[in-house]
Structure 1
Amino acid sequence: MRTNFPVNLNIYPSQPSEDAPEVETFNFANQQEAIRLFGIAGRIWEAAYVLNSYIKPSGRVYEPPLFPETRNPVRIIELGSGSGVVAATMADVLDRTRDIIFATDLPEVCPLLEQNLEAHLHDANRGPIFVRPLSWGNSQHAVSITEELSNPATTHDFPHLTHIICSDLVYFPELLAPLLRSLIQLSSPPFVVEPSDVRVIISYKIRSLAKETPFWSAFGLWFEFTPVLVQKTDLRHVSPLHRLGSDLEDPTFVFVARRREQSFHWNVPPNDEDLMHSGDDTFETLLLMSLDEQ
């Protein structure tokens, strides 16, 4: 099976949710053509819209915020960027004089990323964004990005990652171990110095709990994570603080994660079965809490 063209592929372009910012480059017609050429990578999946509302918090307050009011330069890697809608939205809020984002995907998807990001950014003064191949679990792809981060001409002497962004990546069971490997590698030296240096932001829509829960159980051994909360505000009304995604028909989360300090010293199991060994119940606890919100 080709990763982006599963058997009996039958998907259609999506539409942004009410709270998500509209991005013209990624409209229905463009998605339709991208799906034809690039399969599932060409579609904007629903959790991306939720993540974009977190990136552009118009009329909303988030806990925790994506960025503090006063911050250092950011160095971001997005895994599985697909069509590039999240990277494009992120580029809109970055400071082009000091911030950097690497949008990554399979080598065969990078042309789609290049095309869409060029169309989105060509006439705007926005943050610098680089498209790079990064197949999950491919350590050499990650090392190549490390070399760019260590180049002062690229990163202006701020060589460490601050954020790893993931949107709707927890789906095919055979890809979950490679995804976790990449998350562990990117949150380890030389990408970071300390466990607290980098935050992992994951937007996630539940599709098959039986297939997806093993990832969260393994992820929780290496990372501490909590859901993002949101409060909507306008001149007439301030809503209670609630979980981002709780008002959607399908259960959706945005998690903020950091490496567990003790995991910084662990050896990564070479065997996928050992890596995905269950052990942490954070996700099950958060899921039960979300059911109580309904």
Structure 2
Amino acid sequence: MVNTVCDDDFVIGNKPIGLNVEASQGPPTGIHLSNVLSLRQDIDNLGLAGKIWQSAYTLQSYFSPDNELVLDPPSPIPATYYKNDNDNDGHNGTDDKPYTILELGAGTGYCGIALANMLGPQCQVYITDLEPVIPLIEENVAAQHNPNGAQVFCERLHWGNKQDCKRLMDKVGGRFDLVVISDCVYFTELFDILMDTLLDLCIEDSDTKVVIGYKCRSLEKETGFWDLHFGRYFDYEPARIIGDNSKQNSDDGDDDGNSSDDDDSNNGRPLGYEEQIYVFVGSRRPGNQVKAADDRFALLMFCAMDY
């Protein structure tokens, strides 16, 4: 019975009638990356799960310390866990507990692999999806994961399956530090089970952060996830550009030393606004602060229209 449900959800989520998508050719406009991963895509067999979606590149930029952007809120991953020139292990602290990350609905595994390559071996990245997708993730991990990076585990996680969630939670001692979601908010039929899984993974008082990469495609349908599901249980905000280190570290002016008029043109704008891609950073509300509905998303989309 479980396998039948899993198969049904795989078809609903990944092989809709009239599917007509092409493999990704790289990051969207405005997203500049120094290390774009070359992963195998498999739309013929896996449908939507076999394509690298734009939010994956945007999340790579959000988490990357090399993007030269100052973002608010910044990456929730402590800086000590990133690899750098002075610390090949990517961890300067004394805490022996690994920093644990789980990606939901990972598809090709792009976001999880990119994250693992930025971090040191003191981190663990669990890249999850339905069973039919796991072989593609494993293939891409074998091809593109830096062995000096974070530990990577490819695991089945069927949304709405409490046993899957418990199995993974038990592996990390009862809580994840970060849950990442990339381009998974598109089918209303899956909103309930996606939300159930988020609540199972982000237990109350756990301080688990959630980072969602979201591409706006059908605002009328997708608003329901934010207002009636995620926003009820999670307090969240969009990642905005508040500065550019590449400009701050340059002369920032013309030959006479005058600043150009558009130096701050990006300031205050959401990361990925050029392609209507947004990165939301959230954490679970205390039980006594759960809302009947939340209209923050509608307000954010209205404000984004000004850009």
Q: TM-score, length-normalised on structure 2? A: 0.79
Whether contact under 8 Å (2:183, 2:214) holds in the other structure is yes
1:175–1:55 Cα change, 3 Å:
same
Q: What is the one-letter code of the residue matched to 1:69? A: A
1:146–1:253 Cα change, 3 Å:
same
Match of 2:111 in 1: 86
CA-based RMSD: 2.1
Structure 2 counterpart of 1:129, from 132, 148, 152: 152
How much has 1:124 moved relative to structure 2? 3.5
> Hey, what's the Cα distance between the residues in 1 that align with 2:227 and 2:282?
14
SS of equivalent to 2:131: coil
Q: Which runs of 5+ in 1 are unaligned?
A: 151-158, 267-276
How much has 1:176 moved relative to structure 2? 0.8
> Hey, what's the Cα distance between the residues in 1 that align with 2:102 and 2:288?
21
Structure 1 counterpart of 2:72, from 52, 63, 85: 63
Match of 1:253 in 2: 278
Whether contact under 8 Å (2:227, 2:297) holds in the other structure is yes
How much has 1:25 moved relative to structure 2? 2.6
1:263–1:105 Cα change, 3 Å:
farther
Structure 2 counterpart of 1:281, from 295, 300, 305: 295
Q: What is the one-letter code of the residue matched to 1:184? A: L
> Hey, what's the Cα distance between the residues in 1 that align with 2:129 and 2:32?
23
1:174-210 CA-partner distances (Å, limit 9, x unpaired): 0111111111110016xxxx15x11100010111111
The count of aligned residue pairs is 261
Q: Which runs of 5+ in 2 are unaligned?
A: 1-7, 82-94, 253-262
Identity of aligned residues (%): 34
Verify: 1:224 aligned to 2:244, yes or no: no
1:282–1:89 Cα change, 3 Å:
same
| Bigger CA radius of gyration | 2
Verify: 1:199 aligned to 2:206, yes or no: no
1:128-207 matched pairs, under 5 angstroms: 128-150=151-173, 160-188=175-203, 194-195=205-206, 197-207=207-217
Match of 1:274 in 2: none
How much has 1:62 moved relative to structure 2? 1.5
1:108-130 CA-partner distances (Å, limit 9, x unpaired): 11111111111112x63111010
Match of 1:99 in 2: 123
> Hey, what's the Cα distance between the residues in 2 that align with 1:132 and 1:261?
29
Whether contact under 8 Å (1:20, 1:52) holds in the other structure is no
1:99-146 CA-partner distances (Å, limit 9, x unpaired): 11110001111111111111112x631110101001111111111112
How much has 1:245 moved relative to structure 2? 3.3
> Hey, what's the Cα distance between the residues in 2 that align with 1:75 and 1:279?
30
Structure 2 counterpart of 1:49, from 57, 74, 84: 57
1:247–1:86 Cα change, 3 Å:
same
Q: TM-score, length-normalised on structure 1? A: 0.82
> Hey, what's the Cα distance between the residues in 2 that align with 1:141 and 1:20?
36
Whether contact under 8 Å (1:246, 1:290) holds in the other structure is no
SS of equivalent to 2:79: coil
Whether contact under 8 Å (1:164, 1:201) holds in the other structure is yes
Whether contact under 8 Å (1:75, 1:100) holds in the other structure is yes
1:253–1:62 Cα change, 3 Å:
same
Whether contact under 8 Å (2:101, 2:180) holds in the other structure is yes
Match of 2:257 in 1: none
